[in-house]
Amino acid sequence: MSRLRLLAGRDITSGAEDFTEHVRRLGAQPAAGPALIETIVRSGLTGRGGASFPVGLKWKSVAAHSHGSAVVVVNGAEGEPHSKKDRMLMTTRPHLILDGAFLAAHSVRARQVVLYIGEEHEAARNAMLRALAERRPNERKITRVLGAPPRYVAGDSSAVVHLVNAGIATPMTTPPSPHERGVEGGPTLVQNVESLAHAALIARHGDAWYRSAGRRGAAGTLLVTVAGGVSGPGVHEIEAGTTVAEAVEMAGGVTEPARAVLIGGYFGSWVPAEHAWDLPLDSAMLRERGLSIGCGVVGILHHSSCVVCETAGIMRYLAAESSAQCGPCFFGLRALADACSRVAERGTNPDDMHRLHRWAIDVRGRGACHHPDGAVTFLQSALKSFPDDFAHHPAHWRGQGRQTPAGRAQGAHLDE
Amino acid sequence: MSRDVQFLVDRIRCDGHGLCAEILPELTRLDDWGYPIFAPGPVPDQLLPLAQKAVESCPVLALALKRAERHRTAR
Amino acid sequence: MSDTLLWYTTRAAGAVSLVMLSAVVVLGILSTLRVQSPNWPRFLTTGLHRNLALLTLVFLGLHIVTAVVDPFTHLGWLAAVVPFSSYYRTFWLGLGTIAFLLLLAIVATSLVRGFLGHGAWRAIHWLTYAAWPVAVLHGFGTGTDGWSFWLLVLAWACIIAVGVAAAYRFMSGPRDPLASARTAFRADVNRREGE
């Protein structure tokens, strides 16, 4: 990869870049304010937390509602099991993230910055805390650190707000959404760490610079986590528009012939490998094709694995991660996961196939947050991309409902 | 003249009591687990009184009727 | 109006109120228990509960008015709203006043439930479990002069009905099918200090 931006600087295996190095390499903290917001809008930077919402528009909206009561939440929860990019960024480039956070805080007139870091991401947390200690007093004074519970929905914006306000990381009903009324009633900007890091660089080099990277008409760079059947799984910074095949090459290539690619993580979509290789990894270009970049996970599944079984395993995980606040999500996802598992373990039957299609439609859009929607999108992509596998599945179980030491099912064995 | 009124459901408050589906079966049905699915789109004028009754009858006040501007349509 | 007629009306209205109130409480409990059948939809239970409650207030009003204007008891209107302010059977009548005030609060908040919000409404509605026994005690305490056999049977039927319903309610777990799963999840993501 020729143009590293987020990961430019010292080698990522050699630890965090400290403040002195950061300033020496990139210069002093640039200016913040409405002009910066406009620059970010022009850059076309989209969020890296999964929803790909335009970052500049988000800052603009929060600034518009803010009367000095806004709050910036730096979202480093990274609850997606196979995603490692946020952890990696926090561990190696904490000052980029902090720059972005304080630039955002200044631009939206926030009085508080919350660093929301996954409880189990110890190295990341330590790196961010050390970096925070190196910052100026006026920045440290307005910042606090909060641990994100290691559950999938803990990264949801409204769940973060609920945790800060009431101590419990469960999603809330919207409206009002966090950018209107969030932490302590003030408009809250919840932004993924990678998004903030990009913003910090755009603030220094401008929107034209950001757009100068990218392939096939896409703009900017992004972090992807290549997981599963490749020889060098891990996080890579790629130019937007890089194809799946190119990204897989960067990760050492496949170790066995690939059957399917999971694009976007557990809320993403399965794509048959032969159709996936040429897909450009860019949020807009994927959306045109009915797909989503999500949190940037690209998972490779071998022919020796079974798509149906893997899907069942992931559905079981997602069902178990429901916050159990909404009936359709909790019962619906469980029923879908059970039906999927029956097909996986005991073989196809028309009743379960009918149920999978019917319940998926029933469940979509009927939760307070997007958890059921993401799960259903994932399931429907499996049904659509591999209809024959589902229609003729024999009775075997080649998936894994592996338990982590904490006792939680991890879903798919993509990382092997 | 249609005023474009929509159902707004607090999905977290909803406990699947199902009175709304009893009162307004024209616009509501229960899914396999007892939770209501609302027909998309605005409430027809002639059903507005029943819709109001459904809102008032919800034991947990999970329902509301809102003039639709740009709300996510309840399902 | 003849004194005896007033007296009988007071006691009759009081008895009817108690029977109706008991039915209201039982219906409320049935509603919480989500009792229903193809021929008995839920809105029948809740509708009856509401309408009967309002009707109870009517009979309760009759009971109070006839008691106050009855020259035998020398009750002032104050006794109807300030507990233990009467000379006549101070304690037992006072209980009646308390029950009346509680019921007023419960009905009033129910009428403005939309503005009050579910949480506050529910908290006050729980006072039913105080209002009903207080009303029963009031009935026994003030009505014991010349209670007929049938009145006693009626009173005990009410007590048994409410008692059984309440016992069933408190012995069965939450009817919300998500209750235990939700509690378990919340416990796992709870980061409040000291918990």
Q: What are phi and psi of C66, to 5 degrees?
A: -65, -30
CB contacts of B23 in chain C (<8 Å) are 43
Label residue B29 left, alpha or beta by phi (over 0 means left) and psi (-120 to 50 means alpha). beta
How many CB contacts within 8 angstroms connect chain A with chain C? Answer: 45
pLDDT of residue C2: 64
**Half-sphere exposure of C130 toward its Cβ, with a 13 Å CA cutoff?**
15
The structure tokens 């178990």 sit at A320
Residues 6+ apart with CB under 8 A from A203: A30, A31, A32, A36, A39, A40, A99, A100, A103
* Residue C173: per-residue pLDDT: 81
pLDDT of residue A308: 95
Interchain contact C71–B (C-beta under 8 A): no
- The span from the CA of A106 to the CA of A331, in Å, is 44
Distance CA A100, CA A201 (A): 8
User: What pLDDT shows up at residue A112?
Assistant: 96
pLDDT reported for residue C148:
79
Q: How far is B69 from chain C (nearest CA, A)?
A: 22
Residue at A4: amino acid letter: L
Q: How much is the pLDDT for C150?
A: 83
Residue A408 has a pLDDT of 36
Chain A residues touching residue B29 (CB < 8 angstroms): none
- By the 10 Å C-beta count (0-12 exposed, 13-18 middle, 19+ buried), A136 is classed as exposed
Taken in order A283, A287, A290, A295, the sign of the CA dihedral is: positive
Are the Cβ atoms of B22 and C41 closer than 8 angstroms?
A: yes
DSSP SS3 for A409: strand
- A205-219, C69-83, C87-101: least confident range: C69-83
Model confidence over C145-191: pLDDT tens digits? 656 788 889 999 999 999 999 999 999 888 889 999 999 999 999 99
Cis-peptide into C71, omega within 30 deg? no
Q: Give C31's contacts in chain B (Cβ within 8 Å).
A: 59
pLDDT > 90? residue C142? no
Region C96-109: mean pLDDT is 95
For residues C108-130, average pLDDT? 93
What DSSP letter does each residue of A294-352 carry, written as one string? TT-EEEEEETTS-HHHHHHHHHHHHHHT--S-SHHHHHHHHHHHHHHHHHHHH---HHH
**What is the spatial distance between Cα C135 and Cα C102, in angstroms, rounded to a whole number?**
10
B3 Cα to chain C: minimum distance (Å) = 22
CB contact under 8 A, A365 and B75: yes
How many alpha carbons fall within 13 Å on the CB side of residue A32? 20
Return the residue in B33, B66, B69 with the most chain A beta carbons within 10 A, the one to mutate for interface testing.
B33
Q: How far is CA A257 from CA A246, A399, C102, in A?
A: 16, 18, 74
Answer whether A286's CB lies under 8 Å from A280's CB: yes
- Burial of residue C166 (CB within 10 Å: 0-12, 13-18, 19+) is middle
Please tell me the predicted confidence (pLDDT) of residue C79.
Answer: 83
Overall residue count recorded for chain B in this entry: 75
DSSP codes joined into one string, chain B: ----EEEEE-TTT-----HHHHH-TTTEEE-TTS-EEEPSSPPPGGGHHHHHHHHHH-TT--EEEEE-SSPPPP-
Listed in sequence order, the residues at least 6 apart from A259 whose beta carbon sits closer than 8 Å to its beta carbon are A272, A273, A301, A302, A303, A305, A307
B13, B19, B20: best to mutate for the C interface, most C CBs within 10 A: B19
Report the residue of chain C nearest B53, measured CA to CA.
C43
**CA A53 vs CA A47, A238, A258, A325, B13: distances in Å:** 5, 19, 31, 25, 28
**Pairing label, strands A297-302, A258-263:** antiparallel
| C46 contacts B19? CB cut-off 8 A | yes
Task: Encode pLDDT of C6-39 as tens digits.
Answer: 888 998 999 999 999 999 999 999 999 999 998 9
C42, C47, C113 ranked by CB distance to B17: nearest: C42
Taking only the tens of pLDDT, chain A with its 416 residues reads 457 899 998 888 898 999 999 999 999 889 999 999 999 999 999 999 999 999 999 999 999 999 889 999 999 999 999 999 999 999 999 999 999 999 999 999 999 999 999 999 999 999 999 999 999 999 999 999 999 999 999 999 999 999 999 999 999 998 899 999 999 999 999 999 999 999 999 999 999 999 999 999 999 999 999 999 999 999 999 999 999 999 999 999 999 999 999 999 999 999 999 999 999 999 999 999 999 999 999 999 999 999 999 999 999 999 999 999 999 999 999 999 999 999 999 999 999 999 999 999 999 999 999 999 999 999 999 999 999 999 999 887 665 543 333 333 444 445 43
Interface of B with C in 6-65 (CB under 8 A): 13, 15-19, 22-23, 33-34, 56-57, 59-61
Alpha carbon distance A365, A311 (integer Å):
21
Residue A283 phi/psi, 5° resolution?
-60, -45
Q: How far apart are CA C149 and CA C151, in angstroms?
A: 6
